Amino acid sequence: MVKSSGDGAGAKKARSRPLDGAGDRLADARMAVSRHAVTLFLARGVSATSGDDIAAAAGVSTRTVWRYFRSKESCVEPMLAASAYRFIAPLRRWPLHATFEDFLLEDFAEVPPTPQDLADDALSMGLISLVRDEPALRASWLMVCGQAEQAFVPVVARRLDLPVDEFRVSLSAATAMAAARVVHEEVAVTAVTGVRTYTVEDVVRLLGKAIRASTAEPICDPRPRRAFLA
């Protein structure tokens, strides 16, 4: 059995924190608007949705929308960032003796996402399926992926037992998160179009395979026992 540090309640709370570290009240307000924006984009399309539409759906003024976000497309960033954080957060307690796949699957079973998390992730996957054809949405998606890469650096450093500013750490974090991005895009497109359905295990296995192929460093594998007992 893989054991992770931290109690379940704390882990559940951690899964929903934003990557940008915004204060809770502001983050909650932005997230509420973001959910409505994503829902509208999926229902109507990006070009057919205006800032006024988003404001009306969210029950706020258009001025508030523009105070929170620089453009209508950037309204999606809190949703995407929260989904990315739910992927990264568990990896911060990933034991050195566990593989990537074994840890994530057991952690998912022990600390399952909330119904709201699942609903948000479904919306996010729908949105990700659009990013190849919507340049402005893709820009927001790539920005969030960049934040996820930075959050992944300490995880890689710990698994390689190297400083966070070591080139091999930065390179592995960058290539691993690029691989994860491609997997998420492929899963989103094929799932939304009905080409394939996925279980959690399917997605975790795809992520592990892609990350292993992306870097020469053994970050997905257990550290040698002597390394974490030293």
pLDDT tens, residue by residue, 21-47: 555 888 999 999 999 999 999 999 999
pTM of the model: 0.84
> How far apart, in whole angstroms, are the C-alpha atoms of residue 55 and residue 72?
10
DSSP code at position 161 = T
83-94 exposure pattern, b = at least 16 Cβ within 10 A, e = fewer: bbbbbbbbbbbb
Q: Which residue has the tokens 């492929």?
A: 186
From the list 12, 195, 1, 223, the residue with the least C-alpha distance to 113 is 12
7 half-sphere exposure, CB direction, 13 A CA radius: 2
The confidence score (pLDDT) of residue 184 equals 97
Q: What is the pLDDT of residues 123-167, one digit of tens each?
A: 999 999 999 999 999 999 999 999 999 999 999 999 999 999 999
pLDDT at 3: 41
Average pLDDT over residues 107-114: 91
Q: What is the pLDDT of residue 185?
A: 97
Mean pLDDT confidence for 56-67: 96
pLDDT at residue 7, rounded to an integer? 43
81-85: average pLDDT: 93
Residue 145, Cβ neighbours under 10 Å: how many?
Answer: 17
Where does residue 23 rank: exposed (0-12), middle (13-18), buried (19+ CB within 10 A)? exposed
Domains and CATH numbers, the chain: 8-20+76-229 (1.10.357.10)
pLDDT at 23: 59
| Whole-number percent of the chain with pLDDT over 90 | 80
